[in-house]
Amino acid sequence: MKLIWAILRWLLSKIFIIIAIVGVVIILHFLYDQTRFLQEEIQKELQRAEAELTKIAARKVEAESVQRNLRLRLREEQQTLVAAAQSLAIELAGKENERTELLNEISAADRQIAALNYQIEKHQAEKPWFMDWGLRPIDGPKWEAQLKALEASRATIIKTKNGFEQHKRELHKAIALTREQLMQQPQAPDEKLLEAVEKAEKELEQINDLAESTVANKMRLRERSQQFQNFKRRFLELPSVLKNNLARYRWQILWLVIFVLCGPMVWKMFWYFGLAKATSRVRSICLDEEAPAASCEAKACGKTAEIKIDADHPLIARMDWIQQYSPDTVKRTRFLWSFKAPFISYAAGLVDMTEFRLNQPANEATLVLGSSHDPQYHLLRLDLLNHPGFVLKPSMVVAASPSIKIRTRWTLRNLHSWISGRWRHILFHGTGAIFVMGYGSIHAVDTTNGAIRIEDGHVVGFDSRTRFSTVRTETFWPYFKDKTALFDWEFSGYGQVIRQNVLPQAQRKISNPFVKTADSIFNVIGKLLGF
């Protein structure tokens, strides 16, 4: 019945693979439809972009025409203003020249008047003396005629000068008026025209920016359309490519399919019937084969252990396991189990412990050990007397006497050490008590009467005088279904083995470091191959 159920599960797993392949095909078809839809949308966007570019081009032509006309008007107005200013400047310069010439004429008239006045004064000084007496000789009328001629010339020049003065005053007024017109002449074109030109330039710049952004958007749409077209072409070419590759690599693909379908079982069979079977030919290990006689007594304590300490028997314990203690004890933090072997103590996890000693003058004190995290943990007391060594997992040690020492032994030359993943063994030796924990229940098994086999995760510790090796688990089916580990431990000869009754499934899968490492490596390869 179990075989039929396993075959059904195998068939269901393959059906799931087929369903997954069909699902992938459906997803690819959906992606193809979505790609075609997106390509159509992109084509519509391209058409809209083309229409927008046409409108923008028309707006640009219109804006350039308006800007060109406004600039022409601005240039004409500037030329008109410059011409008017130049005309007024020329007129002002001409009037200034005319005034200068007029001033020169007035100055010349003044000089002529001064000369005539001098001549008149000189002529009067030459008046004949007899004319003062009322006599009029022949020269008298001639002198008077000359005097009248001089006075007439002077009057004519004075009249001319007065005319010049009148013209000068009129010219001054004309020059002042021309200067005022030149000052009032506008230096820049009309502000409204300038604002119109600036507005037209800004509008043209905005149209150019809009055209650039539209062209860039159009290029992006074309690139996306090209990408979708390439994807569509490759998608349509996929069946022919697959057909050609299947025809070319049909045998390789067939072997790969067989490997994928039967790979897990083949891998399990290789481990079980290959490497695991070969370990039976390797000699077992004994750490202290020629050790002297010693005493070792194990006693199960249950979930809690009540311990009596006195002046000769202190105790070192993990503080989180102390549930009760007498006030007659003195506590001291012990950072390392042994400062003579700090690296071994730290590597063994025997750090940050608490040493309990009796406070004088009391005779004894009581300590109660128990788990404060999980009620399924049980305790076992191991009493050693001149013992050469008891191999224990340091993480399982809860408390011990200070007289207990630790040492290590390496076993790199034996295949069992590599398979079990235990190259170095930590031995607790000497005289004293050791308290170890176990899940579910914990007890000691005597190997003197015959060899025993225990699953790796259940082993808490064993006597160093006991021979041990790794053996293949029996049978194949529980190992194939991951209900048991591949290797068990076999103990034989003189000594005891401490085992715990319960091992969670998660701990069972990782209890053997060698198998865990190998499975991790090949699981990665399997995932790459689709397992």
CATH number of the domain bearing residue 495: 3.60.160
Mean pLDDT over residues 103-116, rounded?
A: 78
Tokens 């046409």 sit on residue: 54
pLDDT band at 435 (very low <50, low <70, confident <90, very high): very high
Cβ proximity of 64 and 204 under 8 Å: yes
Most trustworthy range by pLDDT among 100-109, 154-163, 247-256, 383-392: 383-392
Residue 526, pLDDT above cutoff 50: no
Check residue 288 and give its pLDDT: 82
Distance CA 418, CA 412 (A): 7
pLDDT band at 27 (very low <50, low <70, confident <90, very high): confident
Check residue 529 and give its pLDDT: 35
Residue 369, pLDDT above cutoff 70: yes
Check residue 382 and give its pLDDT: 92
CATH number of the domain bearing residue 73: 1.20.120
Letter for the amino acid at 279? T
Distance CA 284, CA 412 (A): 13
Residue 54, pLDDT above cutoff 60: yes
Structure tokens at 492: 């034989």
Check residue 132 and give its pLDDT: 53
Tell me the average pLDDT of the chain.
77
Residue 518, pLDDT above cutoff 60: no
Cβ proximity of 398 and 379 under 8 Å: yes
Check residue 415 and give its pLDDT: 79
Residue 297, pLDDT above cutoff 80: yes
Q: Which residue has the higher pLDDT, 149 or 398?
A: 398
Kindly state whether residue 313 falls inside one of the protein's structural domains: no
How many domains, the chain?
A: 2
Handedness of CA 329, 330, 335, 336 (dihedral sign): negative
> Using one digit for the tens of pLDDT, what is the confidence trace for 453-462?
888 788 889 9
Mean pLDDT over residues 424-438, rounded?
A: 90
Kindly state whether residue 226 falls inside one of the protein's structural domains: no
Check residue 135 and give its pLDDT: 45
Residue 434, pLDDT above cutoff 80: yes
Kindly state whether residue 197 falls inside one of the protein's structural domains: no
Long-range contacts from 476-481, C-beta under 8 angstroms, 24+ separation? 476/268, 476/269, 476/272, 476/273, 477/2, 479/268, 479/272, 480/265, 480/268, 480/272
* Single residue among 192, 222, 238 that ends a domain in this structure: 192
pLDDT band at 372 (very low <50, low <70, confident <90, very high): confident
Check residue 457 and give its pLDDT: 81
Mean pLDDT over residues 287-311, rounded?
A: 83
Parent domain of 25: 2-192
Check residue 349 and give its pLDDT: 75
Cβ proximity of 364 and 308 under 8 Å: yes
> Are 408 and 513 in the same domain?
yes
Kindly state whether residue 222 falls inside one of the protein's structural domains: no
Alpha-carbon distances, residue 433 vs 154, 336, 401, 403 (angstroms): 161, 18, 5, 9
> Are 59 and 167 in the same domain?
yes
Check residue 188 and give its pLDDT: 59
Check residue 381 and give its pLDDT: 93
Mean pLDDT over residues 34-56, rounded?
A: 78
Check residue 432 and give its pLDDT: 92
Residue 527, pLDDT above cutoff 50: no
Distance CA 309, CA 190 (A): 113
Residue 216, pLDDT above cutoff 50: yes
CB atoms within 10 A of CB 380: 26
Kindly state whether residue 423 falls inside one of the protein's structural domains: yes
CB atoms within 10 A of CB 165: 13
User: The sheet that has 452-455: what strands, in order across it?
Assistant: 452-455, 487-492, 467-472
Kindly state whether residue 65 falls inside one of the protein's structural domains: yes
Angle CA(143)–CA(147)–CA(151) in degrees, nearest 5? 170
- Helix 250-270 with 191-248: angle, nearest 10 deg: 70
Mean pLDDT over residues 181-203, rounded?
A: 72
Percent of the chain with pLDDT over 90: 6
Kindly state whether residue 264 falls inside one of the protein's structural domains: no
Task: Report phi then psi at 393, rounded to 5.
Answer: -80, 120
> Are 16 and 124 in the same domain?
yes
Check residue 530 and give its pLDDT: 33
Peptide bond into 475 cis (omega under 30): yes
Kindly state whether residue 131 falls inside one of the protein's structural domains: yes
Distance CA 418, CA 416 (A): 5
- What is the pTM for the complete model shown? 0.50
Mean pLDDT over residues 424-431, rounded?
A: 88
CB atoms within 10 A of CB 289: 10
**Where is average pLDDT lowest: 85-89, 425-429, 471-475, 504-508?**
504-508
Mean pLDDT over residues 160-176, rounded?
A: 76
Task: Report phi then psi at 304, rounded to 5.
Answer: -130, 155
Residue 379, pLDDT above cutoff 90: yes
pLDDT band at 185 (very low <50, low <70, confident <90, very high): low
Mean pLDDT over residues 54-63, rounded?
A: 81
* DSSP result, 324-343: EE-TTEEEEEEEES-TTSHH
Check residue 433 and give its pLDDT: 93
Cβ proximity of 88 and 176 under 8 Å: no
* Single residue among 192, 214, 241 that ends a domain in this structure: 192
Residue 386, pLDDT above cutoff 80: yes
> Using one digit for the tens of pLDDT, what is the confidence trace for 414-423?
877 777 777 8
Mean pLDDT over residues 295-319, rounded?
A: 88
**Where is average pLDDT lowest: 320-324, 443-447, 510-514?**
510-514
Check residue 189 and give its pLDDT: 62
CB atoms within 10 A of CB 131: 14
pLDDT band at 186 (very low <50, low <70, confident <90, very high): low
Check residue 516 and give its pLDDT: 55
Cβ proximity of 398 and 337 under 8 Å: no
CB atoms within 10 A of CB 170: 11
Q: Which of 341, 457, 471 is nearest to 395 (CA)?
A: 457
Cβ proximity of 298 and 382 under 8 Å: yes
> What 3-state class would DSSP assign to 271?
helix
* Single residue among 137, 159, 192 that ends a domain in this structure: 192
Distance CA 402, CA 356 (A): 10
Q: Which residue has the higher pLDDT, 306 or 248?
A: 306
> What 3-state class would DSSP assign to 305?
strand
**Where is average pLDDT lowest: 85-94, 197-206, 248-257, 260-269?**
260-269
Structure tokens at 181: 């017109």
